[in-house]
C-alpha cells in the first residue's frame, strides 16, 4: 500500500512538473528565457570540445592584443598570421634532418636518435615520446667543427609579425673539452649581409650562447624579439623600438641559419662530446588570431568566452542554491517556531541587510583569499536575508491554516508538519527565488572579478572584463570587451524572464484571465 502511494505521488509530481513546463513554454517570456538558458548550458557543457585552448594557461598563442582573423577581411588593413617554421619541433621522426648540414669533412655527425629528450611539449605539458637531434664529434682535431640548421621560407603577409621567437632545449655532455658557440643569422630579401641576432652574447654577466660545461638538465636557449632591452641594443641598435618590424620589413623570401660550432681539441677522444637538441621551434607571431583575437598575454579570447560561460553559470546557480536554501531554512524556523528564535533570526537579518553587500564582499574576499570556493560561499551566505523574510511572512500565514491545525491536533511533530505541509506550500516561492537569484550572483561575481578579486586558476566573464579594463588598449578592442558583457546580460535576462514566467504561473494573483 505504501509503495503504491509513493508511486502515485511521484506520478502526480511528474505530471505537475510537466504541466508547469508546458505553461512556461506557452509564455513568450518563459519560452525565450528557456531557449537562451538551454543554449548557454549546451555551450558551457561542451566547452572542452568548442574551446580549442586552455583559457588561462595557453599563453603566447599569437601576438599580444591580436584582432580576430575576420577583422581585416571586413574592415581592411594590413595583417599577418602565425607561421610555425619547424614542422616537427619535438623531433618525433627524422624528417627534420634534411635541414641540418654538417661540415664537409664529416668531423661533426648529425643524427636523429630514439632518445626521450626534453619532457615537455610546446605548451609545457608532460611529453615523453622519444626523439631528438644528436651532434657528435668524430674528428675533434678538425678546424671546422660546425653543424648548421638552414631554413628558407616565403613571408607573404602585408604586415610584419608582432613577434619573432627561436628557441630550443639543449643537453651538453663533456663540452668542457670543446666549448660550443651558437650563432643565429637572419638573411633578409636582397643581397644584404645577414642580420646576426644571436652569438656569444653576454646577459647578466654570463655568455648565453657560449656553452662550456656539462648540462645538469635540459636548458633553454632562445632569441625573442619581445624580450627587447639589452638584446635589442646589442644586435639591432638603440633606435629600434619594434624588433619584429625591423627584422621582417616586407614580404619576400627569408632564410634563418643556426650555426653550432665546436672548439677544436687535438687531445680529445672522438665521440666523447655530445650536444643534444629538442623542442626546436621557430615561430612568427601574427597580428590576427582566432574568432575573437588574443589578450595581453597572447591567450585566445574565444576560449575564455566559452569557458567563462561555464564558470559564470556554475557560480550563479550554486550561489543561488546556497542563498535560497539558507533563506528557506531561516524563514521556516523564524515563522513556525516564533518567539526567541524568530527574534534572533530577524534581528540578525536586519543587521546583515543594513551592511552594504559589495564592500563587505570585497573586504571578506581580500581577507579570506580570492578563490572560487570562497567566492561561492560568500555570495551565497550574504544573499539569503530577503528571501528569509518572504518565507517567514508566508509561514506565519500557513501555520494558522486549518490543515496545519488539524495535523497538530492529530499529534504530528514540528518536523513532520514542516516537511509535509509547510514546505510544499512554500516551494512556489523557492522556484521563483532560484530563478531570480542567479542573475544577482552572476553580477556579484562579475563585479568582484572586475575589481581584481578573482581566482587566478579559472576564467570567468568578470575576469575578462577586468583584463579589458586594466590593459592599455583593451577598451579600444570592442571584440574583446563586448562579448563577456553581452554574455552576462543575456544569461541574466534568461533567468529573469523565467522568474517572471514562473511567478505568473505559480502565483494565482498574477495569472491572466483567459
What is the average per-residue pLDDT within 325-346?
Answer: 89
- Residue among 492, 487, 98 at smallest CA distance from 292: 487
For the chain, the residue count is: 514
d(CA 212, CA 224): 23
Q: What are the tens digits of pLDDT across the range 473-513? A: 877 899 999 999 999 999 988 888 887 777 777 665 555 54
- Provide the grid cell at 168: 630550443
d(CA 206, CA 192): 31
- Provide the grid cell at 4: 503504491
Q: Say which DSSP state 496 is in.
A: H
pLDDT surpasses 50 at 514: no
What is the average per-residue pLDDT within 118-145?
Answer: 88
pLDDT surpasses 90 at 66: yes
What is the average per-residue pLDDT within 93-110?
Answer: 89
Answer for the pair 330, 390: CB distance below 8 angstroms, yes or no.
no
pLDDT surpasses 60 at 346: yes
Answer for the pair 393, 467: CB distance below 8 angstroms, yes or no.
no
> Measured on CA atoms in the order 122, 124, 125, 128, is the torsion positive or negative?
positive
d(CA 514, CA 504): 13
d(CA 443, CA 431): 20
**pTM, rounded to two decimals:** 0.84
d(CA 113, CA 95): 12
d(CA 67, CA 473): 12
> Measured on CA atoms in the order 370, 373, 376, 381, is the torsion positive or negative?
negative
pLDDT surpasses 50 at 111: yes
Answer for the pair 145, 177: CB distance below 8 angstroms, yes or no.
no
Q: What are the tens digits of pLDDT across the range 376-410? A: 888 888 888 888 998 898 888 888 888 887 877 88
| Residue 479 to residues 34, 42, 71, 303, Cα–Cα distance (Å) | 27, 23, 9, 13
Percent of the chain's residues with pLDDT above 90: 38
Amino acid at each position: 500500500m505504501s509503495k503504491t502511494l509513493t508511486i502515485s505521488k511521484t506520478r502526480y509530481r511528474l505530471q505537475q512538473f510537466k504541466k508547469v513546463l508546458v505553461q512556461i513554454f506557452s509564455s513568450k517570456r518563459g519560452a525565450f528565457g528557456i531557449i537562451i538558458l538551454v543554449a548557454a548550458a549546451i555551450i558551457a557543457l561542451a566547452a572542452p570540445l568548442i574551446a580549442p585552448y586552455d583559457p588561462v594557461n595557453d599563453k603566447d598563442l599569437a601576438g599580444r592584443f591580436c584582432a580576430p582573423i575576420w577583422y581585416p577581411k571586413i574592415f581592411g588593413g594590413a595583417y599577418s598570421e602565425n607561421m610555425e617554421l619547424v614542422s616537427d619541433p619535438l623531433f618525433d621522426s627524422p624528417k627534420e634532418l634534411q635541414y641540418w648540414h654538417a661540415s664537409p669533412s664529416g668531423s661533426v655527425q648529425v643524427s636523429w636518435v630514439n632518445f626521450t629528450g626534453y619532457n615537455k611539449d610546446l605548451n609545457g605539458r608532460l611529453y615523453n615520446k622519444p626523439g631528438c637531434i644528436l651532434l657528435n664529434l668524430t674528428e675533434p682535431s678538425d678546424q671546422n667543427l660546425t653543424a648548421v640548421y638552414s631554413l628558407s621560407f616565403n613571408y607573404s603577409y602585408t604586415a610584419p609579425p608582432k613577434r619573432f621567437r627561436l628557441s630550443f632545449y639543449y643537453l651538453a655532455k663533456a663540452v668542457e673539452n670543446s666549448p660550443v658557440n651558437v650563432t643565429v643569422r637572419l638573411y633578409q630579401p636582397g643581397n644584404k649581409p645577414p642580420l646576426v641576432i644571436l652569438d656569444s652574447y653576454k646577459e647578466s654577466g654570463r655568455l648565453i650562447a657560449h656553452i662550456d660545461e656539462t648540462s645538469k638538465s635540459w636548458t633553454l636557449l632562445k632569441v625573442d624579439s619581445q624580450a627587447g632591452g639589452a638584446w635589442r641594443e646589442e644586435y639591432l641598435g638603440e633606435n629600434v623600438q619594434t624588433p619584429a618590424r625591423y627584422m621582417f620589413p616586407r614580404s619576400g623570401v627569408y632564410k634563418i641559419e643556426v650555426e653550432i660550432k665546436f672548439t677544436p681539441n687535438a687531445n680529445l677522444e672522438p665521440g666523447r662530446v655530445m650536444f643534444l637538441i629538442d623542442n626546436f621551434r621557430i615561430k612568427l607571431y601574427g597580428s590576427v588570431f582566432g574568432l575573437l583575437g588574443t589578450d595581453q598575454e597572447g591567450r585566445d579570447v574565444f576560449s575564455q568566452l566559452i569557458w567563462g560561460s561555464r564558470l559564470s553559470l556554475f557560480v550563479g546557480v550554486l550561489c543561488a542554491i546556497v542563498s535560497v536554501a539558507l533563506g528557506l531554512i531561516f524563514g521556516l524556523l523564524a515563522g513556525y517556531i516564533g518567539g526567541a528564535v524568530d527574534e534572533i533570526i530577524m534581528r540578525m537579518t536586519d543587521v546583515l541587510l543594513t551592511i552594504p553587500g559589495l564592500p563587505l564582499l570585497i573586504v571578506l574576499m581580500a581577507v579570506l583569499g580570492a578563490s572560487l570556493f570562497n567566492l561561492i560561499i560568500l555570495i551565497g551566505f550574504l544573499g539569503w536575508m530577503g528571501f528569509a523574510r518572504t518565507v517567514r511572512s508566508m509561514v506565519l500565514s500557513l501555520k494558522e491554516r486549518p490543515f496545519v491545525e488539524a495535523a497538530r491536533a492529530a499529534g504530528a511533530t514540528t518536523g513532520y508538519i514542516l516537511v509535509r505541509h509547510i514546505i510544499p506550500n512554500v516551494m512556489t516561492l523557492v522556484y521563483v527565488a532560484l530563478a531570480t537569484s542567479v542573475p544577482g550572483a552572476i553580477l556579484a561575481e562579475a563585479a568582484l572579478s572586475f575589481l581584481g578579486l578573482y581566482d587566478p586558476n579559472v576564467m570567468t566573464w568578470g575576469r575578462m572584463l577586468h583584463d579589458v579594463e586594466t590593459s592599455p588598449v583593451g577598451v579600444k578592442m570592442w571584440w574583446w570587451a563586448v562579448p563577456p558583457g553581452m554574455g552576462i546580460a543575456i544569461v541574466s535576462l534568461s533567468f529573469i524572464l523565467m522568474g517572471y514566467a514562473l511567478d505568473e504561473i505559480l502565483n494565482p494573483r498574477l495569472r491572466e484571465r483567459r
